[in-house]
Amino acid sequence: MNLLPIKRLENKEIFLLINGLIGIGLMLAVSLTLNSPARTGSPALLKAAMNMDNSLNTISAYSTQNHINTDNPEDPWHTGLIGPEWSDLTTTIGDPAAKRTTINPNFAALIAHLLIEAGVQKGDTIAIGSSASFPALLIASLAASKALELHPIVIFSFGSSSFGASNPEFNLWDIYRLLLDKNSTDFKPAAASIGGEDDTGSEFEQGLSDRIRKSLSDAAIPLISEKELQKNLSEREKIYFNGNPKRIKAFINSGGGYANLGNSQAVLNIKPGLIKQATIPEPSRQGMIHVMLQNSIPVIHLLFIKGLAQKYHLPWDPGSQPAITQQSVRFDNRLNPLTLIISLAGLIWFILVVIRFRMLYNSR
């Protein structure tokens, strides 16, 4: 049997083969970069996740010890952060799956990432507006602020959707106060509102509103009680800006607070995550989100939790409580200029090598 002779490659062919492999290697490297989970290994992001994890453990231990929210079947991990479906503090229907999804220390890493992406730096001042619907997101925001060494100015409200901080005996201020007592955060709230339909708790029982007012008064926390939206925003601007909007480097909105979102349907079109521009409604319908954007202050919008989890590859309603891992958070993949240049160079290099091969063999 005659075997075809194996042809020995010439130097030019070897040179072309090596260069072809280089081109393929460049494209493969770019592909792996785009499709691999983002690294949460930076010290600040990991520290944010650890801060939140410590806070979650503190709250869980306290809740278990004091038998708070422990009989709630919607809280299988006994975190203490899933309140009742209906109570005197409940304002709207909420999804327990969304609430459980946010009880994840990697949400703090994500918020830290978004703050860095917004351009926030060590020592900067940020504003936080939080309803009681997602207490874990306020915890995550405080944990990220501490990790990045920021100065958060916090205004929160007591009203909560179902399964949030909706337990009148363990409301958002009780949770916040526990974090202060355990040194999980160093920043006392700058102000609070009762929340609800008009941000003043007009639908709440008078006895509950009176207890809230007293608890804030005892802690020397100012109460915002303006029903009219524009006056309410004016009070918040005074607290956040203190006459200088430029001192605020980012605004974190957590939940669907009336004063933060305003009363325009256009706010429903704002996607979760970092935003720098949006449709601005007429002044009488604007919320704090719009005020911040009009002052060129980036906003981190934490509301549509399922969309947020999908966008950043966080587990939706996980079967067990998430832990901190090196690759728990995968951020949106966007080409930066260097990646684009390398990708194009690899593609062009490979095409040229293929053309040169064809020219070489066609000439024989």
The pLDDT value given to residue 42: 78
Cβ–Cβ under 8 Å, residues 135 and 164: yes
Q: Which residue has the tokens 């209906």?
A: 86
Q: Which amino acid belongs to residue 60?
A: S
pLDDT in 10s for each residue of the chain, 364 residues: 555 454 554 665 566 566 666 766 666 665 554 444 344 447 899 999 999 999 999 999 999 999 999 999 999 999 999 999 999 999 999 999 999 999 999 999 999 999 999 999 999 999 999 999 999 999 999 999 999 999 999 999 999 999 999 999 999 999 999 999 999 999 999 999 999 989 999 999 999 999 999 999 999 999 999 999 999 999 999 999 999 999 999 999 999 999 999 999 888 889 999 999 999 999 999 999 999 999 999 999 999 999 999 998 899 999 998 988 765 555 544 445 565 676 677 667 667 666 666 665 555 5
Q: Residues 15, 18, 19, 22: what is their CA dihedral angle, to the nearest 10 degrees?
A: -170
The pLDDT value given to residue 275: 95
CA 167 to chain centre: 24
Distance CA 135, CA 80 (A): 10
Residue ranges of the domains in the chain?
Answer: 43-311
Its pTM stands at 0.81
The pLDDT value given to residue 52: 97
